[in-house]
Structure 1
Amino acid sequence: MDKLAILIPCYNEGRTIRKVVSDCFAATKNILNTQIYVYDNNSNDDTVSEASTAGAIIRHEYQQGKGNVIRRMFREVEAECYIMIDGDDTYPAESIPDMMNVVLTKHVDMVVGDRLSSSYFQENKRLFHNFGNIIVRKGINTFFKNDIKDVMTGFRAFSYQFVKTYPVLSHGFEIETEMSILAIENNMLISNQIIEYRDRPAGSDSKLNTFSDGFKVLKKIFSLFRNYHPLRFYGVISVILLILGAALFFPKVWIPFIQTGLVRNFPTLIVCGFLVILGMLSYTAGLILDSNVQREHREFEFRLVLVQEQFDRLKNINS
């Protein structure tokens, strides 16, 4: 098991990957048992040769998408602490030792490299990226009751326990959103660390599509909120249906009935009945799914215990 594993997912980062790997080596020269892994995701430039020349361990993920690369990395690498950093030379490798120390000394499960509190808005020239980062951060912190400063950052540190219990479900760039929400919902310890961000150098192009990938991220937030808080989600739907049923029933059916003793709008009465039934079913579904979520939380805690035992065995073997 490595003391520190630096994981770099890459797709066509030939212009910058050698510098990123070299900077990581320089930043961790005093940390024994450090390995730098570059996971290539079907690059068609010289990413692999540049990373190999710089001294990184090269591995491959042939299923396209950043989420698929991270799944592969987390399955294959064993380490006390993991650093994930992009290969585009936008993050400061010199922050790696500090982020590692937070994980190892304070038992933090995820350290978030916070760009938004420093130089991101000055360095990043893509206006909609800036706006999207703000929307995603506010959305997650509002719906999931947390204070993560930078949800979309690709510079993070992880504990062994996080990496080995994290079920990677996303395929693309929504992966950072997913891992943030999973950490929040499973009561894992999260820390924010301010880092200096620099924009991509000339000739290096972002793989992130502002609108299509932004829509996927918002869709992921909506989906995870429904999955982790089904009682709140379906409860809101239930209340809306019941209010709508009442709004139709009282003026169209009840008041005329009181006045005349006759039901003059049978179709409206039937619609109101269906709305009430759907509202009750929605709330019942929320109750059942909420029970399943609570069971999942309990099972997650048992998995953490097993992973901790595995971690302790590996450390004993190393020592």
Structure 2
Amino acid sequence: MGDISSQSKERTSLAVSGNQQTAKPQANERDRHDILGESVASSRAGDRKLRLFIQIPCLNESNTLSQTIKSIPRSIEGVSVAVVVIDDGSTDGTHQVAKQAGADFVVRHKKNLGLASAFRTGIDTCLKLGADLIVNLDGDNQYNAADVPLLIAPILNQTADIVVGDRRPSSNPEFGWAKRCLQRIGSWAISRIHMQAAPDAVSGFRAFSKEAAIKLSVLSSFSYTLETLLQAKVKQLTVAWVVIRTNPSTRPSRLARSIPEFLCRSGFVIIRTYYRQYPLRVFSFGGVALVGGGVIPLIRFLWLYMQGKGDGMVQSLVIGAMLITTGVFTFLIGIVADLIASNRQLVETVLEKVKRMELD
């Protein structure tokens, strides 16, 4: 049993008890190479099995975590399976339940840092332990873990980098009308931005190839589901969707206290991620709208002035000039933001290389 204690959001210490030792990732050639392809080829050649790590971020899930872990298939052809539980500051003995249920590694946050932070900790831990594939699974037993082989199949076949489990929200009897509306709104927004159908954008049951796990950098403190899909498009990662089964609900969602809060926080994540990736597009649109709005009163003033009726219409001139000036400055801000985004992309490239060096 591995017991990993997280000292802070940024730094996690690893302590393995018993006779089990931390797995060290094997070195691979990575520059512009298909890491998963090399792993699959190696596996088929009989060298070793692919290492699948199933991470379970959870907060106070002692009532359902044991059933979740025990339902995970441990025998998958060509794949070795390990379970990593991330206890995000639970107060109900969740980490003890995880150990008793057979989790291979347990990561503990001393305080609650949020779902996105627990997800990041899980991804980092799985990569350090030598994962070739990573599956994220909720601790409330919402998802049918027996569908893990279906979820990882597109990655094994090298047709996808990320696979998301589709719960079929529109017809799932476990979804109430409010939850269905939320799913439709989120999926519609992601589909429009991602330019690809997203039937269940907020599903937490998803699989990642090693390459995808290295490239993705979740910055949100709320949730990882929407941000990872938006980043996948920018980072040219292929996303696939697989229909999965769900179990009866055991508790209401704790991600947000109310529907309006969930909508606001999810919308903020979408907007923030979008303008961070496409700042020039966003600010240019705003600049054009402002300039266009300023041209209208300016034309009105010029028309009245040419007819000798311009006296007393200076307010149109002032309003038009202010809107046009603001629009121009907005466009200039977009140019600066685009330069900053280019710099951020270089930083992310360096971060990827650092991750690969750490895993060698």
TM-score (normalizing by structure 1): 0.86
Contact 2:123 2:134 in 1 (8 A): no
Contact 2:90 2:112 in 1 (8 A): no
Corresponding residue for 1:221?
A: 270
Q: 1:302 to 1:72 in 2, by over 3 A?
A: closer
Q: 1:36 aligns with which of 57, 60, 83?
A: 83
Corresponding residue for 1:115?
A: 167
Q: 1:73 to 1:261 in 2, by over 3 A?
A: same
Distance 1:217 1:238 in 2: 25
2:254 counterpart of 1:207: yes
Q: 1:134 to 1:86 in 2, by over 3 A?
A: same
Q: 1:45 to 1:249 in 2, by over 3 A?
A: same
2:177 counterpart of 1:127: yes
Q: Could you tell me which amino acid in structure 1 is paired with residue 173 of structure 2?
A: E
Contact 2:76 2:149 in 1 (8 A): no
2:339 counterpart of 1:287: no
Structure with more of its chain in helix, by fraction: 1
2:325 counterpart of 1:273: no
1:299 CA drift (Å)? 6.0
Contact 2:54 2:136 in 1 (8 A): yes
Q: Could you tell me which amino acid in structure 1 is paired with residue 114 of structure 2?
A: G
Q: Deviation digits for residues 153-197 of structure 1, max 9, x if unmatched?
A: 01010111222232221122x321111111122111111111112
Query: Secondary structure, in 3 states, of the residue corresponding to 1:134?
Result: helix
Corresponding residue for 1:5?
A: 53
Corresponding residue for 2:198?
A: 148
Distance 2:358 2:264 in 1: 38
Distance 1:309 1:43 in 2: 33
| Aligned alpha-carbon RMSD (Å) | 2.5
Contact 1:27 1:94 in 2 (8 A): no
Distance 1:16 1:272 in 2: 61
Distance 1:13 1:196 in 2: 20
Q: 1:103 to 1:240 in 2, by over 3 A?
A: same
Q: Deviation digits for residues 22-74 of structure 1, max 9, x if unmatched?
A: 111x3536555421011111222242232211110222123421011112112
Bigger drift between 63-72 and 207-216 goes to 207-216
Contact 2:162 2:239 in 1 (8 A): yes
Corresponding residue for 2:217?
A: 167
**How many residues of Structure 1 are paired with residues of Structure 2 in the alignment?**
305
Q: Could you tell me which amino acid in structure 1 is paired with residue 162 of structure 2?
A: M
Query: Secondary structure, in 3 states, of the residue corresponding to 1:158?
Result: strand
**Gap regions ≥5 residues in structure 1:** 314-319
Distance 2:107 2:80 in 1: 19
Q: 1:27 to 1:93 in 2, by over 3 A?
A: farther
Corresponding residue for 1:51?
A: 98
Identity of aligned residues (%): 21
Q: 1:237 to 1:32 in 2, by over 3 A?
A: closer
Distance 1:34 1:269 in 2: 70
1:302 CA drift (Å)? 6.6
Q: Could you tell me which amino acid in structure 2 is paired with residue 255 of structure 1?
A: W
TM-score (normalizing by structure 2): 0.76
Query: Secondary structure, in 3 states, of the residue corresponding to 1:106?
Result: coil
User: Which residues in structure 2 correspond to 1:53-202 (within 5 Å)?
Assistant: 53-56=100-103, 57-61=105-109, 62-78=111-127, 79-106=131-158, 108-116=160-168, 121-172=171-222, 174-201=223-250
Distance 2:118 2:352 in 1: 23
Q: Could you tell me which amino acid in structure 2 is paired with residue 148 of structure 1?
A: A
Corresponding residue for 2:13?
A: none
Query: Secondary structure, in 3 states, of the residue corresponding to 1:123?
Result: coil
Bigger drift between 28-37 and 137-146 goes to 28-37
**Gap regions ≥5 residues in structure 2:** 1-24, 26-49
Q: Could you tell me which amino acid in structure 1 is paired with residue 59 of structure 2?
A: Y
Q: Deviation digits for residues 203-245 of structure 1, max 9, x if unmatched?
A: x342133331221001111112222222221122112212221
